[in-house]
Amino acid sequence: MNKEFKNKLKKRKFGFGSLFIIVLIFFLIVPASFILITRSDTFSNWVKNKIDLWLIQNVEGKVKIGKIIIDFFPPLIVAEDVSISGPEGEKFITARRIEIRPDIVALLQKKTDIQEIAITSPSVDITVENNQITNLPKLKRRKSTSNKNPVVETLSIINGNINFKSKELLPWDFGFNLSSVNLDLTGENNKIFEIRFLSGKGGIRAGRVETSVNKIELRTTINLTGPGIKARIKHLDFKASDYYLTMKESIISIIHGKPPIVSASFDIASPLEPFHKLYAKIPEMKGYQSCKGFIRYDDKLSFDTQCQIQNLHIKKYEIGSISSRFIYDSRTLELKNASIAGGGGTIQFNASVAVSGNKEISLNGRMKGIEISKIFEQLGHHCAVEFSGTGPISLQGTLDPVNIEGNTEVRISNFKVFTKHHSNPSATLVLDIKDIAVKSPIEITKKYFRFKNAQVKLKDSFINTDAKINFNKTLDISVHSTKFNAEDIKKISSLGIKGVGGVSCTIRGKMKSPIVKGNGNLAEFSAGGINLGTVNFSLDYSGHQTISFPEINARKGRSTYKVSDSKLIFRNKKQGGILLEGRIFAEKLYLGDIKRIFNIKENLLEKMELNSTGEIFVRYEPQIKKIKVEAETSINQISILENISIRVNLHLIGTLMISTSKKFCSKAKQVKSIFEGENGVKMKI
């Protein structure tokens, strides 16, 4: 009995131990085998093929995965050498390694929640054409067997790079790279996600402009309940080397096939230098701008922002600092409470600019104490002006008296400019700058700028003019003056032309080579150093460096003479400078008057008088002080001294060279003369 019991007991002990060992071996071998199987290339290829098949069935695009590795303890899926392309085969995303860590508790509950996705060295290329991302893969429309979507809690990116190309939105490529990106995601109903984005350092590239990135922090909500994606930005903080951008309570909505909708409040600052590199039409600028405001884009752009620009330079001009509120609604740009400080003064104004239709501009404001030379160097004046008005382009106002170059007082009043196209524009310019005063109606259109019956005062001159300056660089100007002093106009006085009297002329043709025709009556008229006395003249200038005087009737002292076919020729210095030539017909000519005409210093001429008839050709070169005379004339009488009078018939055929210095020299081919005294004495030469 005891032996049987002991044998049974021994057999029972052997059975429990064996069972334990078997169970232990099972729990060791099966997981190990499972791990070995799942880590094998065969299993990885099987999973990869399943994924490839699912992608082919569900995605319009191309997805390539080089290798897949699966771990279960802890759960980990690794995809290496991943490439995602759009329907046309254009690259969208490439990544060296993607790690997916699913939530094991959610897996046991048949959920696909993901704790973390870590992406190493991703590169994203976004191409936009016709307001669509053309290289974005699309999910095929299939009936879903489950309404459960995966939830991703954290997304980490290491050394990411994004490139953006859009011919419609931007004229240049855009891209940035970041050393690290961390995204924390929490989901609600698998459709609404809270995202916190934090990046490391990196760089941004926009066309030829590059800058370093110090920090990007973003808190946003992504809503997938609608037909597209709607993002609400609670906070965005972007800091770079010379830039910063802060956004709050902003919305971005993207629906496939439709333009994106952006509604954002922002605070941004940046230097101005890069803008010329981004947009060639923008002039070269220097300065630093900061703006706060609101912007909206829904196929049309609108914004309301307060901006400040410090130390603004446009090309070589120093403008100063600008502050203004800008309001834009895709049709009109408004500047409210705008202020420009620089050049020793300030400009304060409001403006409205219509960017569509007839492009109307309306301005009103005040400009005071501005040194215009710092903005427009060719002017070199200080001024202060008030202006207001409405219309396509309108200005009106008064200019406070200020000093120009020490003692010149400036005053502008009732200044208006209009461009509206109508037959009787209500526009007047009144300008008063000490020796210069202008009063004129003004008309400006898209084709021309016109002064209508303008009244101009230049020191001692009064001029009436009707001037039309076409924007195709042609002129149509008429000038009339009953009191004119040639020295008041520097362009004329610099040519050595002087005279006081009345003139009328017309100026027509191209700006660089106008045609000038006119006539006048001037006293003490001189040109090139030759004092012709009182002259009645007509002139013709064809733009070829020559002014022609078809006829001049002149009187100098007791002499009366007529000048025909005379010309004032402008030559360069190598050619000898100004040249005067003409034919003189003298009815009564006194040598003393000739002395004063040519500024000759010989005292003998002062005592000699002659009465002559005939024609004399004269060519005068003021630069070398030489006069060339060709004459054939007769002198009826010469009076040398008070008590001696001689009658002479003189025929001079040849050339007479007279130096206006101290000596005379002459060269004659033939000289014939008969001297006849009062007592009948005759002498023949």
Q: What is the pLDDT of residues 75-88, one digit of tens each?
A: 788 888 888 887 77
* Lowest-confidence pick of 10-19, 29-38, 422-431, 553-562: 422-431
Residues 640, 641, 644, CA angle at the centre, nearest 5°?
A: 85
pLDDT at residue 462 greater than cutoff 70: yes
pLDDT for 671 equals 47
pLDDT for 55 equals 72
First to last CA, the chain: 193
Q: Is the pTM of this model over 0.75?
A: no
Please write the tens of the pLDDT for every residue from 475-506.
888 989 888 888 887 767 766 778 899 999 89
Q: How far apart are CA 671 and CA 658, in angstroms?
A: 16
* Lowest-confidence pick of 263-272, 318-327, 558-567, 676-685: 676-685
User: pLDDT grade, residue 305 (50/70/90)?
Assistant: very high
pLDDT for 563 equals 78
The arithmetic mean of pLDDT across residues 318-345, rounded, is 82
Q: How many CA atoms lie within 13 A of 81 on its CB side?
A: 6
pLDDT for 543 equals 62
pLDDT for 488 equals 81
449: Cβ–Cβ under 8 A, 6 or more apart, which residues? 442, 443, 468, 469, 471
pLDDT for 380 equals 34
pLDDT for 426 equals 45
pLDDT at residue 69 greater than cutoff 90: no
pLDDT for 189 equals 60
Q: Tell me which of 504 and 401 has the higher pLDDT.
A: 504
Largest CA distance in the chain: 204
pLDDT for 669 equals 44
Identify whether the C-beta of residue 367 lies closer than 8 Å to the C-beta of residue 382: no
Helix, strand, coil content of the chain in percent (nearest 5): 15, 60, 25
Burial of 499 (0-12, 13-18, 19+ CB in 10 A): buried
pLDDT for 672 equals 47
- For all residues of the chain together, what is the average pLDDT? 70
pLDDT for 185 equals 66
Q: How far apart are CA 206 and CA 480, in angstroms?
A: 59
pLDDT at residue 276 greater than cutoff 90: no
Please write the tens of the pLDDT for every residue from 549-601.
777 887 777 777 787 777 777 776 666 667 778 777 766 666 667 666 666 65
Q: How far apart are CA 153 and CA 184, in angstroms?
A: 6
pLDDT for 611 equals 53
Please write the tens of the pLDDT for every residue from 108-158.
565 667 778 888 888 888 877 766 677 777 666 555 555 455 566 677 778
Please write the tens of the pLDDT for every residue from 190-212.
577 777 878 878 888 777 777 88
Q: How many CA atoms lie within 13 A of 162 on its CB side?
A: 13
pLDDT for 528 equals 60
pLDDT at residue 457 greater than cutoff 70: yes
356: helix, strand or coil:
coil
Q: Please, where are the H alpha helices in 269-412?
A: 273-278
Q: How many CA atoms lie within 13 A of 295 on its CB side?
A: 13
Question: How large is the angle between the packed helices 41-58 and 2-38, nearest 10 degrees?
Answer: 50
Q: How far apart are CA 214 and CA 176, in angstroms?
A: 12
Show contacts of 312-318: CB within 8 Å, 24+ apart: 312/272, 312/285, 312/286, 312/287, 312/342, 313/285, 313/286, 313/287, 314/283, 314/284, 314/285, 315/283, 315/284, 316/377, 317/374, 317/375, 317/376, 317/377, 318/342, 318/343, 318/374, 318/375
pLDDT for 487 equals 83
Percent pLDDT > 90 in the chain is 3
406 Rama class: left (phi>0) / alpha (psi -120 to 50) / beta:
left
Q: Tell me which of 343 and 450 has the higher pLDDT.
A: 450
User: pLDDT grade, residue 529 (50/70/90)?
Assistant: low
